[in-house]
Every structure is written in C-alpha cells, then in structure tokens.
Structure 1
Amino acid sequence: MYDKKQKEVAASLLKDMEAISASMRELIVAMPPHDLLGYIYAQHMMKALADQSAAEEQRAEDGPNDLINENQFLLEYVHAVLASDADPVNVTFDEARCTELYELGRKLREKAMFFAMVTSANTKDGVFGPDTADIEFRVKSTWVMLRGNRYQVLEGEFYRYVLMPHDDVLKEVYGVGAADIAEGFQAMADATRTGHSEAVREIMAQFEAAQAFAAAESKPLENVMEAWMATNAEQSKTVGRAIDDMFRGGVANVSRHTRLPPTLLADLAYQRGEETEFFAVGDFSGTPYRTLPARKKPLIQLGSDYYAVDPCFTRDAGYRALLYNLLQRKPDYRKTFEDRQKQMSEAAFSDILAAQLPGAKVFQEVYYKDPTSKQWSENDTLILIDDVLFLVEAKAGAAATIASPALDFGRHAQSVQDLVLKAYKQCERFFNYLNSEDEVPLYYRTGGRYEECARVCRSVYRVMVPIGLTVESFSPFSTYCKELPQVEPLLGQHAFVSLSIDELFVLKRFLPTPGEFIHYMEVRQAVAGMRRAHLFDEFDHLGAYLKKNRFDQDIADELKDDKVNMLIWDGMSDIIDRSFEGEDWESGPFPTQDFPEEVLKLLGALDGNRASGWLLAESSIRNLGGEGRNDLAKMLSDLRQTLNLHPARYFTLSGDSESLFIWLQRHGRLIDWTKVNDKASAAALSLKVSNVIGIVAEVSGDGIYHRAQSFSVHIPKERTEENAHIYEGAARVANRARSVNLGLQEKVMPVVGDKKIGRNEPCPCGGGKKYKRCHGR
C-alpha cells in the first residue's frame, strides 16, 4: 500500500515539475537574453552587497543565502533554454515576468526536493547497505541544490596544474598554452565574482572626470556631456561596457573579459537551439533531474560573443568539455594524453603538498610480487615521511558521471565502483603485502626488468593512510564511500580516504606546515573509519578540524547514543568559504587553530629540527585541547625563565591516552641523555601510564627555542638491580609531586657533569646515530 501511494505521489510531483519547467521555458524564451541575464545578475549582486553589510552573527543565524541559490538555479535554466531554443524574432523584457520566473523557480526546486525524499524513502538496501536510502536522498538533493562547492578564486591554479601536461598540444590546437587558458578561466570567474563592483568603480571614475571637465568649462554637466564624450571617446566606450556589465549580463561575456581564442570558446559553448535532449519528450522532460546542458558545455553563444551564463559549472564542465574537444580535434593524441594524465594525477599529491612533505621519500609506480596471486602488482605513489606512510592511488579520468541520479542511481553507484573501490582494492592489496613480512622489498620496472628500489618495514610507521585521489571533486560520494560494505579499515585499523586534486589546493593553504597537515590527516582518517557519521565534503571536515580539533572524538561521543542512526554535521565549511570571499582574500591570514605563543615556539623548533619522531611529538601536542595547550604553555614559560639558574628543567603533562615528558635544556649546555632517559622513565612509572612521549628542547632564557626533538621513553616492566634507581626516582616523584591541571611537575635538580662525548661515538640519546650526526650538529 505504501509503495503504491509513494509511486502516486512521485508521479504527481513529476507531472508538476514538468509543467513548471515548461512554463519557465516559455517565459525565458520570450525575453531578450541580455536583459534577462542583467536582471538576474543584478539581483544576485544586490543580495551579495546586503550580506556584506549584515552582521556576522546575523549571517550565522540566517543560514544559507536562499536568494543566491535561487539566482544560481535560475541561471542554469536560462542557459538550458538558450541552448535548447533558437533565437525568436519578437522578444520584450518584462520585470513582472521575471518576478513570476523567480516564483516558478522556487516551486520547481521545492517539488524537486520533495521528489528526492519520496523516491528515496523506501529504498531498503543497496550499494551503501542500510544507509542507501539516506545517501540516495542526499545525492539527489545535491544534484538539484548544489552547484559545485568550488572557490572561484582558485580556478586558474587548478586549470594551470591539470592542463600543463598537455601544454604543447593545446598550443598546437588552440594557439594558447596551459598558462594562458588557466588565466582565461580565472578571468572568467573573476568577471562574475567582482565584475559588478569593478563596473561601478569605472562608472564613478568617469563620472567624476566628466564633472571635473564641466567645472573647468564653468558649465553644467548636462551641457558639456557631448563635448566630453567627443574628447574622451575611449573613456566613453569604457563606460558603455561597464553599463553593459551591470545591466545587460556583460559580466558573463567571456569574449570581452578573457583573451581565450574563439575556437576554444566555441568548443565550450552551445549555439542557440543546439541542445535537443533536455526538453525532449519523455520522463523528467525539462526538470532538474535531466542533465542540465551546463553540465555538458558551460558557455552559450549569443550573437558573435560567448557567455558563461552559469558560473558554477565552469570548473568541471569546462575541464571535461575542453579535454573532450582537444581529443576530437587531435584523435592521434589519445594514447599520449592518457599517459600524461596518469603521470600528472600520480604526482599531484606529493607535488602540490611539497611544503607539507619536506624530505619525504616518494616512490612512483612501485611494483611488488603479491604473495597471494604470485603476480606482479603496481601501486601509483608511496610517500614515506618520518613515521607516516601515504599510499596514493590516483584516477586521472572524470570524477563522476553527469547522468542524473533520478534516471539511473545505479550508474552513480557504478562511479563509486570504478573510482573508489578500484583504488581501495589496490591499497588493500599493498597493505596486505606490507603485513606479510617484517620487511618487504619494492621494485621499479626498468626496461622490462624489476629492480629493487626500497625496503619497507610496516612496524616503523605509526600512521598509514590509504588515499584514492581523483582530479575533480567526488562529493558527496567521496565522504560517503565509507558506507560501502566492501570498504573496511585496512588491516583492521587504517581507514581509506577519498580526496581530489582541487581539494589539495585548499588543504595546503590552511595546513601550511607538515605537523598541521599530517595531524589533520590523522583526524580525517579517524572520521573516515566511522560509519553513520557524515560531513558533506572535504571542506566540512577541514572546517570541523579548525573549529574543534579532535572532532572525531566529538563524533564518537555522539554516536554512542543508541538513538542516533545517522549523524550529519552540516555547514562546518563556513569558515573555509568565507576565507575566499572578498577581493583581498589573499592578503588576510587563513583561519587556524589557536595555540599559545610558547607552544608555537616549541612546535616550530620540532619542525625546524625534524629529527626522527618529530611528527609524533607534534601530534601529541596538537591532540591537546584548549586547556591542555594553556597548561603546557604556562609550564614551558615558567620553567624556561629559570634556566639561568638551572641547566635543565623538566615536567610531565598527563592525559587519558598519552602523556608528555618535556625536558628543557639551557642552550649551550651538554645534554646528559642518561639522566634524561632515567628521569623520563621514572616520571612514566610515577604516572602509572603505558604511553609517554618524550621531548627535549634546547632553550635560551630569553624564550628562543633553538632545537627540539622527540625521544622514546622506556617504561620498565619489572624492577631489577640495574633499574632500581629508576623505581626509586619514581617513588620520590610520586611522594613530592603536585598536580598541575593535566600534568605533574617535579622540580629538576641541576645536570651532573659535563663529560665530553667524541664526535664518532654513539649519541647517548639512544637514537642509534653517531653523536656528530645527531645531537653533535
């Protein structure tokens, strides 16, 4: 009974959608396209200006800007109609019709959302297991509502990177290379983003010039306008173009605002009436559940110029259309094209994030003999940095099908199969290989022969992150893939993460240091392993990290509630989104987590030294919450200021899962590593904890942290004659220690002795290196 009723409701909604879209088509085709575009863009601009003047608190209270979403939705329909209908002879602009068009657009979006709910609600099971119904709804609603969560100011950077492998062929086919095309796409985005404000400035500047001209002539402005225009012909044309930008959709005119050649623009554009599928007879005719023409070609030709009517599909649709037409014009380039795409995508992670991976060992196209199949297997990119391992499996093709999920949800699911699961299975095979022996060899293939290039020991790596990397964003599937029954944490503990190249450009800006980035990836991986917990895309994850730090722990706490079937965090990306707003977005600092200055100095010293174990030390510090960070800062500051009286000071900061032992050494004094190790072991015993991270920092009394490094703290299991002094030290610490919030403080006695160590002797820190290559540097 319910299924029958559901089908009846869905059929009614579909009929309504088709009728509304037909009415919208009639209204759009009857109006001059330039005037209609000018009206919609003006509405968009006025709302954006109103938002800029609103208080931040009010913006947060009001939530997403619905009028801007309506404008965007409407622009897509304008593009669809212009692409589908030839230019009529008699058209007139009517503001009343525009008002009606907005109302119809609102109704169509509303009906489409109800349709997504009704048609998804009764899905019992599927590719995403018991959560398929909810995910199907999210995918369908995203198809209707979201127009690419992209940051327009980064268009050029993205295009420059992904097109550079084809630079020579682009020049041959279009007469311009990757850099010029990227500049054009950025100019295209900038025109719609800031074009109105620039037009206003231009008009005001020329108006002031005309007023000055009138004042010099001692005549009223209206009496000298003709003379001024005759004298300033070029400025008059500039004003005309600015007026066109403001009132006739000129901000979307890419022929004017970019230097891209007409041949290239033509490959990205529809001519009037060229599109035949969107309004064709059949189910979903003209509705948002057909594939909007803007998803295929982002531009439309109006007269002799080309217009980017819908600015938000420019990234994905433009990229796909450009590469498709490049191969159409040069079909013999396909094999080389595929090879170059593969090389670009495989190198992207370590290339774009080079500053976050200093000194990393990067292996591309590594081979190994699978112990199960006995066949040679390949992985794309292996990155080893300190005690962290990244395995990146790159997919160079388009991220997802452009077919509607309402027409074929299974085809979307197949995209997951092709992209996510293939990468996941390749990572799984490699991780199983790592787990097959204490140490495994890796090979390069050269001239048909396999030559060993490295040996990897799994036990060395504290963090191992398997990553599936696409060129374009794969949201929302990239964050939902963990719900696939086949996707389990590898080796039972290493969750799979799906990322895209365009997301890497954002991550590198907000997480500029290795410690920040790798700690984020640790937290991100923890969330990737949590079923029933969803954030829409990578920028929601990033925003949650910047706001809450260990947001995986917050999610875990909420999931403990038996009443919670699925947890969705929405809107966490707002601080990321706002960072790319405004014309001066590059000049302001990006949001970051709060750390006291003293703690930042210690983190900086660890990063500056980058001795073995430094990422573990950074991670332990970054795991601290606000109170723990303040406690650490106070202890560092208080004890550091006494180093003029004592050669060394130390303290412990204890937490639930791990504790810190920090030794501050006066800069210029030799470190007594035997004492450091004994004191750290005694402190660990006194705290009765199983995991202690040791950090030694060489500091001046004036607050300069010259050097810092992590060291392993040995915690003895039982008392012997050799370690009796450590147990005695632990007892003394326990007897006289006083609690300091999250940690314990023990007053440090001065270092005994300044015995010199030979430069070629083993370093007493226990790191296994010669003193001259370790602490003797």
Structure 2
Amino acid sequence: MTETGNNAEAQRQEAAASLLNDMETAAARMRELIVGMPPQDLLGYLYAQYMLKAMSAQNVGMQPEEPPEPAQPDDLINENQFLLEYVHAVLASDPPPEEVAFDEAKCAELYDTSRKLRQNAMFYAMATSADTKDGAFGPDTADIEYRAKATWVLLRGNRYQVLEGEFYQYVLAPHDDLLKEVYGVGADDIAAGFQAMTDSTRSGHSDAILNMMDSFDAVHAIQDEQGVDLGKAIKIWAEANTGQLAAARSAMDDMFRGGVANVSRHTNLPAELLADLSYRRGEEVEFFAAGSHTGTPYRTLPARKKPLILLGSDYYAIDPCFTRDAGYRALLFNLLQRKPDYKAAFNERQKAMSEAAFADILSDQLPGARVFQEVYYRDPITKQWSENDTLILVDDVMYLVEAKAGAAATIASPALDFGRHAQSVQDLVIKAYKQCERLFKYLASADEVSLYHSEGGKYVEFARIRQSDYRVMVPIGLTVESFSPLSAYCKELPQIVPLLGRHGFVSLSIDDLFVLRRLLPTPGQFAHYMEVRQAMAALRRAHLFDELDHLGAYLKKNRFDEDMANQLKEGADFVMWDGMSFEVDRSFEGEHWEAGPFPTQAFPDEVLKLLAALDASRSPGWLLAESRIRDLGEDGRNNLAAMLAQLRKSLNQNPARYFLFGRDVRTPLFIWMQRSGDNIDWQKVNDKAAAAALLTAGGSVTGIMVVATSGGTYKTAYTFPVNMPGPRSEDNARIYDEADRMRVRAASHAAPRVPAARQMPASARFNAGRNDPCPCGSGIKFKKCHGR
C-alpha cells in the first residue's frame, strides 16, 4: 500500500474511533435521561410526537389535485423508532428509580441526543466499511457491509402491520396443540392478540380521540339540555355512564401515557405468554455492559431478544417494529424451553409448514398445479440419492422451492462481526441454491428424468418430466422471516450464478407471499412477475432494497429489469432504485385497506378481456400467451387493443379475422379472431399463421385463437402452435405465396399518406378489409385511407 493509502486508512480508523467514542457518550446520556423520567409519561410524549409529525406530513405542502409525496423515513419512522428502541433498552437494563418526574426539556434533549447518535452511527457504518476490499460478496462486499450496518441501525424490514395476524396464524398453526397445552390458547387466538397489539399502536391514538370526542359531545349536550355548567354536566354524564367513563379514562391513558403500547389491556393474550416475551426492569445485562460499543446501536438491542417490557403489573410493546420478528422467535424459543421434549416434533412440523407454504399461500395463483413434496432422484454424477423440498408444475412454468424453516435474521451485529452476520444469510441462501442446482442439473442430464418418493425405505417412481416442457424454471429459496436487504444482495455472492446459465435464483420469505397474493391475484400476473423477478435476480450490480420494492417497480415499470440493464449498458457502474414500494405501502394503510383498490398495471379494456378469456380457458400454453401480452409496454398494449377492437367489430361482416402483432420484436403474436358460433377452418388458420411466421425476425410466433362476438364478448381464448414451414416445396408453396402477399401488402403501406397522428401499427396494415374502418383510428374506410 502507498504512503497516501496508509494515511487515508489511518484517517478512517481515527475517524471511526472518534465516532465510536461519541456514540458511547451519547448512549450513556440517553440512558440517564430515559431512566430519569416516568416511563408511561415518556411513552405518551413520544407516541404523541410521532402522531403529530405523521399528521403534519400528510397535510402540509400538498395540492388537492396532486397525490401525496412519500413520507420521509427520517421524519416519520427513524427518529421515533430509534428512540423507542432505546427506551426499551434502558427500561430492560435499569431497575426503576425511587422518584422521578416528567420533564419536557429533558425530552427535547433526548431527541437531540438520539439524532446525533443515529447520525454518528451512519457515519460509523461508512467509515468502518470503506476499507473492506473483498469478502463474501466479492468486490461488492464493502457496499453490502455498509448497507447491512445502515439497515441494522435504521430499518427493521418493510412490514405491514395489518398482516401481523395473518402471518402469525399461518406460522403458528403447526404448533396449535402445544400452544394450547402451554399457554391455554391456540394459534388463532395468539394471532388475534398480535394483530390487536399492532392495531393499537397503528390506530390507537385516533380511536382514543374519537372516544373522547363522543364523550365531550355527550357532556355538551347535557349542558345545552339542562342549562348547567361544564363541571355539573360532567358529573351528570359520569353517573349515568359508568362503563363509558372507564373507556374514557382508558382513552386518556392511550393518548397521554403510552397506553396504546399496553398489551395487557389491548389484547387477550395470557400473562404467561406475555411474560415469556418480556423483560423485567433491570433484567438485561449485556447491552450497557462495559466494553467496546457499549450502549451503541451496534450492540444487539434487547428488543431483538424480547419485544415487551413489564411496567408495574402490565406488559408494554414499546417498540412496534420488533414485535413481529422478535416476538415470533421469542415465542418459539420459550415454547421449547417449557417443552424441551417437543424439539424433534417441532422441527418436523416447522419443516412441513415451510415446505408447503409457497403452494398453500399462493393456491389461487397456481390453479391446477401439480405439487410434489420431498422429491428424490439419483444424482447422475455422485450416484447418491438427493432430495428437494417442493416442485410445482403449472402449465409451462416450473417453481422449485427450497424452504428453510429456521429464523432468517441473525441477531449478531454486522459491526461487531460482519462475517458471522453475513454467514447466517449465506447458510440459508447458498444451501437452498445448491439444492436447486442439483435438481436443475439432473433435469438437464437427459431428455426425460424420473422423480421418486421415499416410501418405507424404498424409492418409488411417481413421475417423469422433461425440461423441454418448461419455458420458465424458477429456483426459489424460501424463509419463514424476511431478511432484507441481504436477501436481495445475495445475488452478488460469487457462488450464486444463474442455474444452467439462464435461470436466476430468487430469495423470498413467507412475509412476501402474503403481499404478492393480494397484489398479483391472477395466475398470469403472478407468473409474469416471477419471470421479471427472475431476470432481475440474474442481473448483477442492479439492486432494489427488498421484495416490496421489486413488486412496486414491476407494477410501475413492468419490465423494470430491462430498464436497469439498459442503465448498466449506458455506463453505470452500479444501479440502485429506491422508494419503489411507495404505492404498495400505501395500499396497506387506512382503516378500510382490505377494500382496496390495490395498485395494478394499466391495460386497455379490450386487452383485459383477452387476458380474462385466456385465464378462463387455462388451456395448455395460456401462461405463455399472457406473458407475451404482459411484456408489452403502454404503446404496445394500446395498439393491441385498437387492433382487437377493430377486428372484433367487423365480425358481423366476416366470420374470421387475423393479424400479426409485433413482427419485428422477439415475441410476435399471431391472433386469429373467430366469430362465435362459426366453425374454425384450422387448415386456413395454420396456413395463415405459418405464412406470418415467415415474415417475422426470428420465426418464433405465439398463436392465439380468440372466439368472440362483434358486440364485445370474448367467449374463449387459447394458444395454438405456429409451425415455421420447411424449405419451399410443392406441398407448402401456398404458404410461401401467402407470405409474399402479406409482405407486399405491408410494404405498400410503409409510407402512409396520412398525418403521423393517424399512422397505424405496422402489424395491422396488411389485413384490413377494404370497407372496414381503417385500423389507424382515422374513422375513414380502409380503402380510402391506408388502403389506397
């Protein structure tokens, strides 16, 4: 290393040491401030400040006709979230003092100190990652190490609180009987409790305000009716409404003393379960223990171990963001502590749940799928028997899912031991990847291969499959919990390359599946998203934060993988898109979020009818046809819709119409539209389709048969094979002659005599009847417009 390099490294080390000292000093001061105030009053203040900021962000600087801008994470999440984690840490680490008083000036100092600590933590992440030259993620290790550290400090994963109960209900269902035995409640009740817990922090303040407003309205009504003063009216109301008085007191507690975090009051979870998830005051001994990084966010926050805290006789969920991850892990850990002999059965049930999750949760997206679990085969190289978790075959799409039932997220700090932090992720990802790789190599080892089940120690063949039958093959590593952002970055691991040179490996979590099934409700939508997602997984040095950003980019940009690939081709060293999940995030907000609408890609009605007809028929090849249509951009979709509508409306005069769409692209469509009730002349269909194939760039055409009425009803739609004819011969001369006629008709309209605004798609020009309205949209008959 040069002298200049040595000096730069020394300066970074000195800066890191200074930042660490500042962080430790700030953490110690925060500890003093937090322990010196009543916890309920402090919580009430912090939650109220968060609500005020959220309301301010929604109402300031917005024009009525403009959509709201994304809320700034620094303002709305990180400031309060970071501080709440420290409140939890201090309360878990320090016994309660004898007498303290709330002080708003101390709160102001607490916010200021918290901001400085968080800011220095980010600078520290930069300073301690910059020198990393190589590692688990190759040349990108420094960048990924920084992002892992930054995420450790700032973000706890992109969670939707309204889905907490759904998640818990699914992942706890395998242990329902033991949960009832240990805690007296089963998976459904526990899931409802966790949902109530998150609902309280999500909407507790607004509920409390509405409750108080109703009470005040009732008191003012007594004033008006009886002509008494306010004090007398309150007394009259209280005597007549003892039940509502208790609710009003609870609402006051929710609004001003952190009552929204009181899970003893807002859930029906048993005390034994809450105790297993909670710290008592002063119980935590590691976070502020002497040593390097003491009290800094680069130690493991106590909330990562137990998310609740016991204050007096009630349990509080001070930090709402760790309730999901830490709560799930803490619950299962304590379940096994109470019932250690359940370990073997626990592992088996977790395995079965995680292996079934993909096909189970996404059952609507996988209609008629053949689902095989615990698939065995003899490795052609080692000659040993190998096993894969779940193989799903639907139409011409294959999903191979390797599930990992263990906790995805390590509680090891990336700053104290990035190697261990990264290794926990690698163990999940690489093991799943290698298992998928073995099966893919087996599928490619012969034209047809056999698959087996293990029955009574013997391997019994249950299916034979051909790799050539599957247009899309997606290997997937599935975890119970999300482990963003490293899951998205694992494609940069040197070991992770597209299987068989073309099938990118995708990391997902059960969390992700609950969102995907809502926003991609049809099989065609989901299959196309997985195609795009797989292409993105194979694209190195182009990143989005997590699965929800990938989903948001897809809904907004469609083939966003191609956009990012083009940015790399244009000279970008590294491409990172941020904030793409905004529209997805918004769809899970609000009291009536389930009613939607959820964000979706825009399609003209005519194209939607075609997609619906394909989905209704689900004939072999329907996912291929949907994929080709969904690949189109906005202009392509509009042009296709115009052609479909134009030809459909002419079915009263013509029993059948056809057109070649996108002849110059890689995936052209030959669409034959048949009038409903008329017989299809398949000889004519095949001849015309084969002739059209001769006009395309690559000769590969997807044929779609559409049976419709001129009035707009699509009776059915399905694919049919389009065969490229062999060399010209006497038998196929008619096809070549038809291709020549098509070519001449298309060429004759290459320079239309109408303004550019009335140009029609090249794919439409060669096949419009002379008396039909011109497909260009001019409203003039074809013979007087482009047909001249």
Q: Does residue 733 of structure 2 align to residue 733 of structure 1?
A: no
1:480 equivalent among 489, 492, 508: 489
Q: Does residue 383 of structure 2 align to residue 363 of structure 1?
A: no
* Equivalent residue number for residue 759 of structure 1: none
* Equivalent residue number for residue 9 of structure 1: 15
Q: Structure 1 length as normaliser, TM-score?
A: 0.95
CA distance in 1, matches of 2:694, 2:247: 77
2:594 equivalent among 583, 586, 590: 586
Q: CA 1:345–1:167 in 2, change beyond 3 Å: closer, same or farther?
A: same
- The letter of the residue matching 1:265 is L
Whether the 8 Å CA contact 2:666–2:697 is kept in 1: the answer is no
CA distance in 1, matches of 2:769, 2:224: 83
How far the C-alpha of 1:63 sits from its partner, in A, is 4.1
Q: Does residue 662 of structure 2 align to residue 650 of structure 1?
A: no
Whether the 8 Å CA contact 1:113–1:141 is kept in 2: the answer is yes
2:36 equivalent among 23, 30, 53: 30
Q: Does residue 47 of structure 2 align to residue 41 of structure 1?
A: yes
CA distance in 1, matches of 2:762, 2:288: 65
* Equivalent residue number for residue 618 of structure 1: 626
CA deviations over 1:36-64 (Å, ceiling 9, x no partner): 00000000111112233242858537743
- The letter of the residue matching 2:234 is M
Q: Does residue 603 of structure 2 align to residue 595 of structure 1?
A: yes
1:251 equivalent among 260, 268, 280: 260
* Equivalent residue number for residue 231 of structure 2: 222
Q: Does residue 763 of structure 2 align to residue 743 of structure 1?
A: yes
* Equivalent residue number for residue 153 of structure 2: 144
2:636 equivalent among 618, 628, 635: 628
CA distance in 2, matches of 1:608, 1:231: 60
C-alpha RMSD of matched pairs (Å) = 1.3
Instruction: Using the aligned pairs only, state the percent identity.
Output: 66
Q: Does residue 117 of structure 2 align to residue 108 of structure 1?
A: yes
* Equivalent residue number for residue 497 of structure 1: 506
Taking the TM superposition and a 5 Å limit, the aligned residue runs for 1:151-550 are: 151-550=160-559
- The letter of the residue matching 2:761 is N
CA distance in 2, matches of 1:672, 1:339: 57
Q: CA 1:197–1:62 in 2, change beyond 3 Å: closer, same or farther?
A: closer
Q: Where does structure 2 lack aligned partners over 5 or more consecutive residues?
A: 1-5, 751-759, 771-788
How far the C-alpha of 1:588 sits from its partner, in A, is 1.9
CA deviations over 1:358-381 (Å, ceiling 9, x no partner): 000000001001111111110000
How far the C-alpha of 1:68 sits from its partner, in A, is 3.1
SS of equivalent residue, structure 2 residue 231: helix
Q: Structure 2 length as normaliser, TM-score?
A: 0.94
* Equivalent residue number for residue 766 of structure 1: none
How far the C-alpha of 1:688 sits from its partner, in A, is 4.1
How far the C-alpha of 1:393 sits from its partner, in A, is 0.2
SS of equivalent residue, structure 1 residue 643: helix
* Equivalent residue number for residue 87 of structure 1: 96
- The letter of the residue matching 1:646 is N
- The letter of the residue matching 1:746 is F
Whether the 8 Å CA contact 1:112–1:288 is kept in 2: the answer is yes
CA deviations over 1:372-395 (Å, ceiling 9, x no partner): 111111000000001000000000
Whether the 8 Å CA contact 1:144–1:288 is kept in 2: the answer is yes
CA deviations over 1:47-86 (Å, ceiling 9, x no partner): 1122332428585377435243201110000000000000
CA deviations over 1:447-476 (Å, ceiling 9, x no partner): 111111111100000000000000000111
Moved over 3 A (4+): 56-59, 61-65
* Equivalent residue number for residue 613 of structure 2: 605
Whether the 8 Å CA contact 1:697–1:709 is kept in 2: the answer is yes
Whether the 8 Å CA contact 1:544–1:573 is kept in 2: the answer is yes
* Equivalent residue number for residue 559 of structure 1: 568
* Equivalent residue number for residue 723 of structure 1: 732
CA distance in 1, matches of 2:282, 2:74: 33
CA distance in 1, matches of 2:634, 2:160: 30
CA deviations over 1:709-740 (Å, ceiling 9, x no partner): 01121112421111110000000111112463
SS of equivalent residue, structure 1 residue 703: coil
Q: Does residue 49 of structure 2 align to residue 50 of structure 1?
A: no
* Equivalent residue number for residue 130 of structure 2: 121
Q: Does residue 705 of structure 2 align to residue 665 of structure 1?
A: no
Q: Does residue 138 of structure 2 align to residue 135 of structure 1?
A: no
Q: Does residue 683 of structure 2 align to residue 683 of structure 1?
A: no
Whether the 8 Å CA contact 2:53–2:75 is kept in 1: the answer is no
CA deviations over 1:270-289 (Å, ceiling 9, x no partner): 00000000000001100000
Whether the 8 Å CA contact 1:649–1:749 is kept in 2: the answer is no
Q: CA 1:58–1:664 in 2, change beyond 3 Å: closer, same or farther?
A: closer
Q: Where does structure 1 lack aligned partners over 5 or more consecutive residues?
A: 751-777
2:108 equivalent among 75, 79, 99: 99
CA deviations over 1:524-563 (Å, ceiling 9, x no partner): 000000110111100000000000000011011000133x
- The letter of the residue matching 1:40 is L
- The letter of the residue matching 2:313 is S
- The letter of the residue matching 2:320 is P
SS of equivalent residue, structure 2 residue 119: helix
SS of equivalent residue, structure 1 residue 642: helix
Whether the 8 Å CA contact 1:253–1:307 is kept in 2: the answer is yes
CA distance in 1, matches of 2:168, 2:274: 15
CA deviations over 1:576-626 (Å, ceiling 9, x no partner): 111111111111210000000000000000000011110000000000000
CA deviations over 1:414-450 (Å, ceiling 9, x no partner): 1122100000000000000000010000011111111
CA distance in 2, matches of 1:179, 1:52: 35
- The letter of the residue matching 1:78 is V
How far the C-alpha of 1:206 sits from its partner, in A, is 1.2
SS of equivalent residue, structure 1 residue 75: helix
CA distance in 2, matches of 1:15, 1:34: 31
CA deviations over 1:474-513 (Å, ceiling 9, x no partner): 1111111110001110000001000000100000000000
- The letter of the residue matching 1:43 is Q
CA distance in 2, matches of 1:735, 1:194: 67
How far the C-alpha of 1:749 sits from its partner, in A, is 8.2
- The letter of the residue matching 1:478 is S
Q: CA 1:58–1:17 in 2, change beyond 3 Å: closer, same or farther?
A: farther
CA distance in 1, matches of 2:763, 2:289: 70
- The letter of the residue matching 2:336 is L
Q: CA 1:58–1:351 in 2, change beyond 3 Å: closer, same or farther?
A: closer
Structure 1 range deviating more: 445-454 or 424-433 = 445-454
Whether the 8 Å CA contact 2:287–2:295 is kept in 1: the answer is yes
Q: CA 1:121–1:59 in 2, change beyond 3 Å: closer, same or farther?
A: farther
Q: How many residues align?
A: 749
- The letter of the residue matching 1:161 is Y
How far the C-alpha of 1:701 sits from its partner, in A, is 1.2
